Amino acid sequence: GENVEQHPSTLSVQEGDSAVIKCTYSDSASNYFPWYKQELGKRPQLIIDIRSNVGEKKDQRIAVTLNKTAKHFSLHITETQPEDSAVYFCAASNAGNMLTFGGGTRLMVKP
């Protein structure tokens, strides 16, 4: 089955700096890669996703890049703000019924 590894597990940045979270996956058939943000005690919420037919997608301060050859994808947050502090999860799916999540990255943005 699919295995998703996520790094780093914790990330602390100064407000205004950029943050990068990286994930690798094992199943070359995977073709859908969402990122979820989960605030403490809250539900995971989709912030951005990418499909395998594109290499990069951007939405305001958030961007995701995908390298299918290397089987890794990354989340980039620019101009970080304190409200970006949360746990971020990457995930991968091969269009089957299972979305496999990474272990999460706790992002702390210091004012």
DSSP 28: T
Task: Decide: is 44 part of the binding site for another protein (CB under 8 A).
Answer: yes
3-class DSSP state of 80: coil
Pick the closer one to another protein by CB: 4 or 75: 4
- Alpha-carbon dihedral 40, 76, 64, 58, rounded to 10 degrees: 100
Q: Does 100 bind another protein (CB under 8 A)?
A: yes
Which CB atom, from 32 or from 65, has the smaller least distance to another protein?
32
Two tokens, residue 60: 């305001």
Pick from 13, 22, 27, 49 the residue near another protein by CB under 8 A.
49
- Tokens representing 90 are 């990457």
Of 16 and 96, which has the nearer Cβ to another protein?
96
> In residues, how long is the chain?
111
Q: Is 102 in the site for another protein (CB under 8 A)?
A: yes
d(CA 107, CA 109): 7
- Closest CB to another protein among 55 and 103? 103
Binding residues vs another protein (CB under 8 A): 4, 6, 32, 34, 36, 42-46, 49, 89, 91, 93, 95-104
